[in-house]
Amino acid sequence: MYDREKERENFNPKDKLLTLEENKKYLEVQWRIVWFRMENPTGRIITEIQPNMEKNYAIATAKIFIQSGTRLICISTGTACKMQDPNDTNNTDEIGKNFIECAETAAIGRALAGAGYGTAACLTQEPHEPTPQQTPAENNVVDAPVNPKTNRQNSKKTEKTSLETVLKTPINVGQYKGRTFGEIIKSDPSYINWLMNKVEEGANLNAELKSAMVCIKDNMEILQTEQLAS
């Protein structure tokens, strides 16, 4: 009979570490996922991918959720952008674009590392307590399906109103100064991804730009839906 608790006790992520050049250690993303699943069987890993087949790149965002009572709470987010490797001979059709898979894998790896399931956490091997120490932001909480449908619709309407304001706002710095965020997303989404990464890294950006990037990042699903419909 399958014993999840016994399997969890026997699983040691340190046993899965790879040794790279200069004796550096690395925990592959597949084992980060296993580690997370072992400790959070009701948790979720949600990914969003924005592929651009014309320019051969993909932007992926991964969010890590844990169960807290009747709710799923987002505890970490990771974003990655990958370009097509010109030497990759597997890119022969629209289905097998490896850079799309690489972007998703990298985003999941970063998100799991931020949640405490990465190489650094593996080396310290401290017990996980997957309960947020601070009250999460409202947009990081996913309510259980028992909530009324009208509440979800009202929430999405509020988010979209805020997003529409941001998309009409002109950026005040950089190479696209004077153009709106909405225009930049359509013409050069990789630049928006670069800005989001800078915000994650704690770069010294002005408050307006940081706020816009957070709003865009939190509404990727809405943006993708509208792009598909256009």
Question: Same structural domain for residues 115 and 26?
Answer: yes
Question: Whole domain around residue 178: which residue ranges?
Answer: 163-227
Question: Is 152 domain-assigned?
Answer: no
Question: Is 140 domain-assigned?
Answer: no
Question: Same structural domain for residues 113 and 38?
Answer: yes
Task: Report the alpha-carbon angle 51-142-111, nearest 5.
Answer: 50
Question: Same structural domain for residues 11 and 117?
Answer: yes
Residue 216 pLDDT class (50, 70, 90 cuts): confident
Question: Same structural domain for residues 116 and 174?
Answer: no
Q: pLDDT tens, 189-211?
A: 888 888 877 777 777 777 778 77
**Where is the domain boundary, 72, 92, 122?**
122
Kindly report which listed range (24-28, 70-74, 82-86, 118-122) carries the lowest average pLDDT score. Answer: 82-86
Q: What is the pLDDT of residue 224?
A: 58
Residue 49 forms beta bridges with which residues?
Answer: 60
**Where is the domain boundary, 122, 146, 176?**
122
Q: pLDDT tens, 133-190?
A: 333 333 443 333 334 343 344 434 434 447 788 888 888 878 888 888 888 888 888 8
Question: Is 118 domain-assigned?
Answer: yes
Q: What is the pLDDT of residue 26?
A: 92
Mean pLDDT of the chain: 74
Question: Same structural domain for residues 28 and 88?
Answer: yes
Pick the residue with more confidence: 191 or 227? 191
What angle do helix axes 149-167 and 207-218 make, rounded to 10 degrees? 140
Residue 223 pLDDT class (50, 70, 90 cuts): low
Cα separation, 70 vs 73, in Å, equals 10
Question: Is 2 domain-assigned?
Answer: no
Share above pLDDT 90 across residues of the chain, in percent, rounded to a whole number? 22
| Helix ranges restricted to H, the chain | 4-10, 29-39, 98-114, 119-124, 149-167, 181-187, 189-200, 207-218, 220-229
Strand pairing category for 25-26 and 44-52: unpaired
**Where is the domain boundary, 122, 154, 178?**
122
Question: Same structural domain for residues 110 and 207?
Answer: no
Cα separation, 31 vs 8, in Å, equals 13
Q: pLDDT tens, 67-77?
A: 888 888 999 99
Asked if the model's pLDDT at residue 3 lies above 90, the reply is: no
Q: What is the pLDDT of residue 204?
A: 75
- Confirm if 14 and 125 have CB atoms less than 8 A apart: yes
Question: Is 63 domain-assigned?
Answer: yes
Question: Is 62 domain-assigned?
Answer: yes
Question: Same structural domain for residues 55 and 111?
Answer: yes
Q: What is the pLDDT of residue 97?
A: 61
Q: What's the structural domain count of the chain? A: 2
Question: Same structural domain for residues 17 and 109?
Answer: yes
Asked if the model's pLDDT at residue 92 lies above 50, the reply is: no
Question: Same structural domain for residues 67 and 172?
Answer: no
